[in-house]
Amino acid sequence: MPKDYLDFHPYRFQLLTAAADARQELSQSGNRTASQVTEDIRQNQFAGMTRAEFEGRLELMTEMRHAWSRWSGGGSEILDFSDDMAQMAGSKIVEVPWTSPLVELHPVYVHFGSEAALILDDSSRLIEGAYLQTADDPLRVLVHLVCNDVSRDRTLGSALIAQSEVIKACLDRNQNEFIEFDGDHSLVAASLKPALLSRVLYVVAHVLGPCLEMDTSPRGLERLLLN
């Protein structure tokens, strides 16, 4: 079945952000200051959330908007790996395609889809994709892992939660490990980190090729164990 633009996170996130900004502008109408508006939102639309939690979500939302902006400004490229992920959903050995030299990666979005089986706390929640970009050091890849959509109300509070559901990670290509893995606390706690790492490594191998300092022996390059 052909995919629609809204099957991919970047286009849904764009619409969500536009709607949230419009609601924010309505909330700021009148003579209230920005800090008064922020406190009103926190108290009325985030019942039970502490100021620290609220500010943490604001920070993650800003981080995600910046990642999206870099993707948009870098060519808006989407790589659909869902067919590959379907073959990797179980525990198995998968051939790694070491085919290209180390290069800088401009921002791209990689779609894992439900086929990757990166399920979170229940069957409706899953990590469905990631924004990838090399850092200043090309041996490190910046990764922003994002979720699928779930049903929510149309409040500004819900929009903020949706925009801040992200895991920020950094992949070190020398170690083939995440050297940073942080973000939305519930996502970090519920995510199967080894499974996420294996899928990101698989995609990076396709897109970037091997690290120049990597073990290039047949044994070192032949296979990658995916959990």
Contacts of 101 (CB under 8 A, 6+ apart): 209, 212
- Residue 226 has a pLDDT of 38
Count CB neighbours of 198 within 10 A.
20
Spatial distance between the Cα atoms of 161 and 143, rounded to a whole number of angstroms? 19
Spatial distance between the Cα atoms of 117 and 128, rounded to a whole number of angstroms? 9
Contacts of 199 (CB under 8 A, 6+ apart): 85, 88, 112, 116, 118, 226
- Residue 3 has a pLDDT of 76
**Alpha helices (H) in the chain, listed in sequence order:** 9-27, 34-45, 51-73, 82-88, 156-163, 185-190, 193-208, 218-222
Kind plus residue range of the DSSP H or E element containing 91: none
Closest by CA to 190, choosing from 125, 135, 116, 103, is 125
pTM (predicted TM-score): 0.79
- Residue 55 has a pLDDT of 86
Digits of tens for pLDDT over the chain (227 positions)?
567 888 899 999 998 888 888 766 665 555 556 566 566 655 655 555 677 888 898 899 999 999 999 999 988 999 888 888 877 655 444 444 443 444 567 889 999 998 888 888 766 789 999 999 988 887 899 999 999 887 777 777 778 888 999 999 999 988 889 999 999 998 899 888 988 998 998 888 877 765 544 443 333 333 333 33
132: left (phi over 0), alpha (psi -120 to 50) or beta: beta
